[in-house]
C-alpha cells in the first residue's frame, strides 16, 4: 500500500452512565455515527477489531449492524485494548489486504473501583486477600515517590483536575461537565493520599468507533486526510514500577512501558515531542498526567510544576493536554478509553472542537494510554 | 494465628519475608515465584520507606478477605538494602509521621484485629517501636 492509513470516520456514544443501554449498544451507537461521518454503509466495512473488557464480545454487534459476513476480531488487552485495536486495524490496511476497516471499543463497568482478581494477573491469592489488589494504591504510591524525587506539589495535582473539568464543559461526550474549584479539589474527600476524590477518574461507560482507510480510499471518500503516522503498543521493560507490583527492583521505577511506546511512536512518525500541537495523555488520576508529560518526552521530570502554574497545558497554551477533560472528566470505560483520545484528536485536527478547540490550526496530535499490568499504547496523527 | 499463605514467612520467633533469588542473575524478588528458577531467600527485616499512601476505602470482596469493618491503613513500599523494594502495610505509626526514608522493621499483624481466629499478615513499623 502506498501513502498513509487515514481516519475517515469517527463516532462516539457519550461517556458516563447511561442506564438501560448495554455497553454493546453504546458501541453500536458509536459505529453508526462513525459510518455516517465517513459517508459509508456497514456493508462497506471490510473488517473490524473490537475491544471490551467487561461488556461482552464485540463481534456480537454484527447482529445489530447487519450480517454481512464481515471479518471481526475481538481484542482483550486491558487498558491498551483501544490502542491495540487501532494498531491492528492500521496494519491490516498497510498490508494491502484491505482498504477500509473499523476499530471499535466500548464498556460498561459497575460502580466503584475496578476489582481485579490476582489470578488474572499471575499473582498469588494472598495479595488480593490482604488488600493489595487495588489500582488506586499503586497510583498513589507512584506519585508520592515522584513528588518526593522531583518536587511536584499537591497544588499541581489539583490544577490538573481543575483543568480537566473546565475543558469538559465544552465536550458533549464528557461525563463530568461542571467546573470544580481548585480549593474544592484539594479539600475533597481523600481516597488514597495525596489524591482526593476529584483527582481520580471513575470506571464508566461509553463507546467509540473509528473508520480507517487507505489514503487512496480516503481521497475517494473526499474526507480531510487525517493521517495515522504512528501507532505503537508496548509492554513493560525490566525494573519498571507497574500496577499490582508486590516488589520493585532497587533503583527501578524509571523505565516504563510508556517511555518505550512513546519513543517508538516518535521514531515511526519521524517527528519529536516539540512538534506535537495537542496531546491526550492517560490521566486516570491527576498525577498520571503529570508523570506522563515527562514519560512521553514533552518535558523533563520536575518541569511540570512550572508548566501547570504557567498554564502551558491549557487549551490556549504551548501544549494543550486532555482537551476534552480526559479520563478525569470522561471516566474510564476500558475498551473505549484509548479510542476516545484518538476521537478527540481527530475533532481537534478537523477544527471541530468548538469551545474547546485548540487555536492555531493544529496539524499534529498525540495520544497515550497506560494500564495494568504495565502496557502502553501511543498514536500520532497528522493532518 | 495462621499465616495468610504458606511459604510467605519464615518459621522464626521474628519471622522474615521469604523472597526469591534468581539462580542465574541473582535478582531478588518478593514473593518467591513457583518453579526452579528462583530459590527461597529470606529477606532482611529492616529497611527504609520508599513510598506510601493511605488506603481510605474498604477494598472490594473478592478478592479482599478482611473484615467488613474498615479503618484506613497506610500501605507503602519498603526498600530492603541490597535486596528489593517490597510492598507492605505500615502499622504502629501516626499517618502524619510517615515519611519517605524513615527506618522500618518487619512485624506481623492480624488481618482482622477483632476476630478470635484471624489470619496473620506482614506489615512494617517504625524501627525500634517495640523497644
Q: With contacts defined as CB-CB under 8 Å, which chain B residues touch A141? A: 51-53, 75-77, 87
Give the per-residue pLDDT at A1: 63
Same structural domain, A291 and A173: yes
| Residues A219, A79 share a domain | yes
Query: Rounded to a whole number, what is the distance in Å from the CA of B93 to chain A's nearest CA?
Result: 16
Cell numbers 487501532 correspond to what residue? A86
- Same structural domain for residues A261 and A186? yes
The pTM for the full model equals 0.95
pLDDT level of residue B47 (50, 70, 90 thresholds): very high
Contact between A165 and A325 under an 8 Å Cβ cutoff? The reply is yes
pLDDT of B131 above 70: no
| B73 CB within 8 Å of a chain A CB | yes
Kindly give the confidence (pLDDT) of every residue in chain A, 383 residues in length, as a single tens digit, with 9 standing for 90 and above: 678 999 999 999 999 999 999 999 999 999 999 999 999 999 999 999 999 999 999 999 999 999 999 999 999 988 889 989 999 999 999 999 999 999 999 999 988 777 788 988 889 999 999 999 999 999 999 999 999 999 999 999 999 999 999 999 999 999 999 999 999 999 999 999 999 999 999 999 999 999 999 999 999 999 889 999 999 999 999 999 988 999 999 998 888 999 999 999 999 999 999 999 999 999 999 999 999 999 999 999 999 999 999 999 999 999 999 999 999 999 999 999 999 999 999 999 999 999 999 999 999 999 999 987 889 999 999 99
Strand, helix or coil for residue B74: strand
pLDDT at position A206, please? 97
**One domain for residues A12 and A142:** no
pLDDT in tens, B34-45: 999 999 999 999
- Host domain of residue A50: 5-111+206-226
Instruction: Rounding to the nearest 10 degrees, give the CA dihedral for residues B88, B92, B95, B96.
Output: -130
- Say yes or no: A180 and A252 in one domain: yes
Other Cβ atoms closer than 10 A to B35: 7
pLDDT digits (tens, 9 = 90+) for B101-113: 999 999 999 999 9
Give me the sign of the Cα torsion angle A325, A349, A72, A60: positive
Residues of B in contact with A134 (CB under 8 A): 55, 59
- At A242 the pLDDT is 87
Q: B79, A250: Cβ pair inside 8 Å? A: yes
pLDDT of residue A220: 96
- Looking at the structure, do residues A173 and A281 belong to the same domain, yes or no? yes
Asked if A250 lies within 8 A of B65 by C-beta distance, the reply is no
Reduced to 3 states, what is the DSSP secondary structure of residue B62? coil
Q: Cβ contact (<8 Å) for A248 and B84?
A: yes
Q: A284 with A201: CB under 8 angstroms?
A: yes
Same domain, A27 and A172: no
Across the interface, whether the CB atoms of A246 and B86 are under 8 A apart is answered yes
Q: Which residues of A touch B59 (CB under 8 A)?
A: 113, 115, 131, 133-134
**Given CB atoms, is A190 within the 8 Å cutoff of chain B?**
yes
Last residue of a domain, one of A226, A257, A284: A226
Each residue of B68-126: pLDDT tens digit?
999 999 999 999 999 999 999 999 999 999 999 999 999 999 999 988 888 999 999 99
Same domain, A53 and A179: no
Separation of alpha carbons A252 and B101, rounded Å: 16
What is residue B93's predicted lDDT score, i.e. its pLDDT? 97
Using CB atoms within 10 Å of the CB of residue A270, give its burial: 0 to 12 exposed, 13 to 18 middle, 19+ buried.
exposed
Structural domain count, chain A? 2
> Alpha-carbon torsion B121, B125, B130, B131, what sign?
positive
Q: Of A65, A70, A63, which is closest to residue A11 (Cα–Cα)? A: A65
| A122: closest chain B residue by CA | B33
Which tens digits make up the pLDDT trace of B7-29?
999 999 999 999 999 999 999 99
**Residue of chain A with shortest Cα separation from B3:** A126
Closest residue in A to B31 (Cα–Cα)? A246
What is the nearest CA distance from B92 to chain A, expressed in angstroms? Answer: 17
Q: For residue A305, what is the domain's CATH number? A: 3.40.47.10
Place of cell 527461597: B40
A77 and A14 housed in the same domain: yes
CA quadruple A187, A193, A198, A199: dihedral, nearest 10:
130
Amino acid at each position: 500500500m502506498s501513502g498513509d492509513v487515514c481516519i475517515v470516520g469517527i463516532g462516539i456514544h457519550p461517556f458516563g452512565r447511561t442506564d438501560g443501554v448495554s455497553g454493546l449498544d453504546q458501541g453500536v451507537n458509536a459505529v453508526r455515527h462513525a459510518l455516517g461521518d465517513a459517508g459509508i454503509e456497514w456493508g462497506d466495512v471490510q473488517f473490524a477489531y473490537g475491544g471490551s473488557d467487561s461488556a461482552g464480545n464485540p463481534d456480537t454487534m454484527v447482529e445489530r449492524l447487519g450480517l454481512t459476513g464481515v471479518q471481526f476480531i475481538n481484542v482483550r488487552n486491558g487498558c491498551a485494548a483501544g490502542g491495540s485495536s487501532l494498531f491492528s486495524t492500521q496494519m491490516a490496511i498497510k498490508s494491502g489486504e484491505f482498504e477500509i476497516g473499523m476499530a471499535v471499543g466500548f464498556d460498561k463497568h459497575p460502580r466503584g473501583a475496578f476489582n481485579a482478581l490476582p489470578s488474572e494477573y499471575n499473582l498469588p491469592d494472598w495479595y488480593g486477600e490482604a488488600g493489595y489488589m487495588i489500582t488506586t494504591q499503586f497510583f498513589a504510591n507512584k506519585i508520592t515517590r515522584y513528588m518526593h524525587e522531583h518536587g511536584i506539589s499537591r497544588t499541581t495535582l489539583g490544577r490538573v483536575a481543575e483543568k480537566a473539568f473546565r475543558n469538559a464543559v465544552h465536550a458533549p461526550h464528557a461525563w463530568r461537565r461542571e467546573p470544580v474549584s481548585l480549593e474544592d479539589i484539594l479539600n475533597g474527600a481523600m481516597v488514597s493520599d495525596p489524591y482526593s476524590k476529584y483527582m481520580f477518574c471513575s470506571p464508566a461507560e461509553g463507546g467509540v468507533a473509528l473508520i480507517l482507510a487507505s489514503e487512496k480510499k480516503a481521497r475517494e471518500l473526499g474526507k480531510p486526510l487525517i493521517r495515522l503516522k504512528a501507532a505503537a503498543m508496548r509492554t513493560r521493560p525490566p525494573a519498571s514500577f507497574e500496577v499490582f507490583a508486590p516488589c520493585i527492583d532497587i533503583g527501578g521505577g524509571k523505565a516504563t512501558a510508556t517511555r518505550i511506546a512513546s519513543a517508538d511512536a516518535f521514531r515511526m512518525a519521524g517527528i519529536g515531542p516539540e512538534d506535537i500541537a495537542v496531546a491526550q495523555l492517560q490521566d486516570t488520576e491527576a498525577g498520571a498526567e503529570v508523570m506522563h508529560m515527562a514519560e512521553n518526552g514533552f518535558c523533563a521530570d520536575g518541569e511540570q510544576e512550572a508548566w501547570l502554574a504557567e498554564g502551558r497545558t491549557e487549551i490556549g497554551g504551548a501544549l494543550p493536554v486532555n482537551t476534552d477533560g480526559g479520563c478525569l472528566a470522561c471516566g474510564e470505560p476500558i475498551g473505549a478509553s484509548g479510542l476516545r483520545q484518538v476521537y478527540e484528536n481527530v475533532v481537534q485536527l478537523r477544527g471541530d472542537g468548538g469551545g474547546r478547540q485548540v487555536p492555531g490550526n493544529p496539524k499534529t496530535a498525540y495520544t497515550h494510554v497506560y494500564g495494568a499490568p504495565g502496557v502502553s499504547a501511543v498514536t500520532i496523527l497528522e493532518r | 494465628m495462621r499465616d495468610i499463605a504458606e511459604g510467605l514467612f519464615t518459621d522464626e520467633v521474628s519471622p522474615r519475608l521469604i523472597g526469591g533469588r534468581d539462580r542465574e542473575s541473582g535478582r531478588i524478588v518478593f514473593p518467591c515465584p513457583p518453579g526452579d528458577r528462583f530459590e527461597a531467600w529470606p529477606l532482611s527485616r529492616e529497611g527504609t520507606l520508599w513510598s506510601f499512601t493511605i488506603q481510605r476505602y474498604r477494598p472490594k470482596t473478592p478478592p479482599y478477605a478482611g473484615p467488613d469493618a474498615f479503618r484506613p491503613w497506610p500501605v507503602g513500599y519498603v526498600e530492603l538494602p541490597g535486596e528489593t523494594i517490597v510492598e507492605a502495610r505500615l502499622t504502629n505509626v501516626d499517618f502524619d509521621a510517615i515519611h519517605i526514608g524513615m527506618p522500618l522493621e518487619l512485624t506481623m499483624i492480624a488481618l482482622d484485629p477483632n476476630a478470635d481466629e484471624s489470619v496473620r499478615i506482614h506489615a512494617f513499623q517504625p524501627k525500634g517501636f517495640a523497644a
